[in-house]
Amino acid sequence: MKKMLILTGPQGTGNHLWSKIFSLHPDVFGWKTLLNNYWEAHRFSEPFCKYWRDPSLLKDFDWSTHNYFFTSISIPLGIKETKWEPNIMEFSNTVESLGIDTQIAVIGRDQNILYHQQNRLRDESTLPHFMNQLDKFPDPFFLSYELLYLYKEKYLKTLNLNIPIEWNHSKINEILENDPNKKYVHSVENYILDNCNRTGKILNKLPI
């Protein structure tokens, strides 16, 4: 049976990053052009971009070329006046009706970093748009941005998804070379728990 992995998440959770990794395997129909560029606009380059706008067109897609398919999209997509909300379940159900087994994977990132990233780029937190759809997904598979960067190929090797993953590909280290979280993280000189760790002293609660 042919299979598709649908990747989605809030804006700023690493959609392009994961798309590169999941498009590496030669047996997967994915976002191959992205492998040659650091970034591309979803609305122009993602192979299923026009089908996200109108899932009814999926009946005309050529499913004969591969057994495994990958697509990704954020909720919402776009900025300000171009912002719109793709309907994940409408897309997924349409693919299922064509005899393709689908799986939805949800990506996430540190909530504080996500807040700052969205407000910097979007002038608002767009997380509520995604949360409005999350409960509609049947048994989504959750993926961690932080675990990916921490454990790299060891983490990818554990993932049980609808598509094969080229977890030991030579480009993995290149894709993960620069962690975008670094620009948001700063050193802390001291914290109240430091002394507890050194002395074993009990702390009943954090001071307000």
What 3 state SS string does 96-141 have? Answer: HHCCCEEEEEEEECCHHHHHHHHHHHHCCCCHHHHHHHHCCCCCCE
| Cβ(115)–Cβ(17) below 8 Å | no
3-state secondary structure of 66: coil
Q: How does DSSP classify residue 23?
A: T
3-state secondary structure of 195: helix
Taking alpha carbons only, the member of 149, 140, 153, 108 closest to residue 11 is: 108
Which of 77-86, 127-136, 163-172 comes out lowest in average pLDDT? 77-86
Taking alpha carbons only, the member of 188, 107, 120, 105 closest to residue 146 is: 107
Q: What are phi and psi of 198, to 5 degrees?
A: -75, -35
| Cβ(88)–Cβ(95) below 8 Å | no
Q: Where are the domains of the chain?
A: 3-199
Give tens-digit pLDDT for 14-23. Answer: 999 999 999 9
Whole-structure pTM value:
0.92
CA distance 42 to 47: 9
Q: How many CA atoms lie within 13 A of 51 on its CB side?
A: 21
Residue 208, pLDDT > 70, answer: no
CA distance 74 to 61: 21
Strand bridging mode 28-29 / 68-75: parallel
Q: Amino acid letter at 107? A: I
> CATH for 3-199, among 3.30.1050, 3.40.50, 2.60.120, 3.30.70?
3.40.50
CA distance 197 to 191: 10
Give tens-digit pLDDT for 151-198. Answer: 999 999 999 999 999 999 999 999 999 999 999 988 878 877 667 677
| Cβ(21)–Cβ(87) below 8 Å | no
Which of 34-38, 94-98, 167-171, 198-202 comes out lowest in average pLDDT? 198-202
| Cβ(116)–Cβ(184) below 8 Å | yes
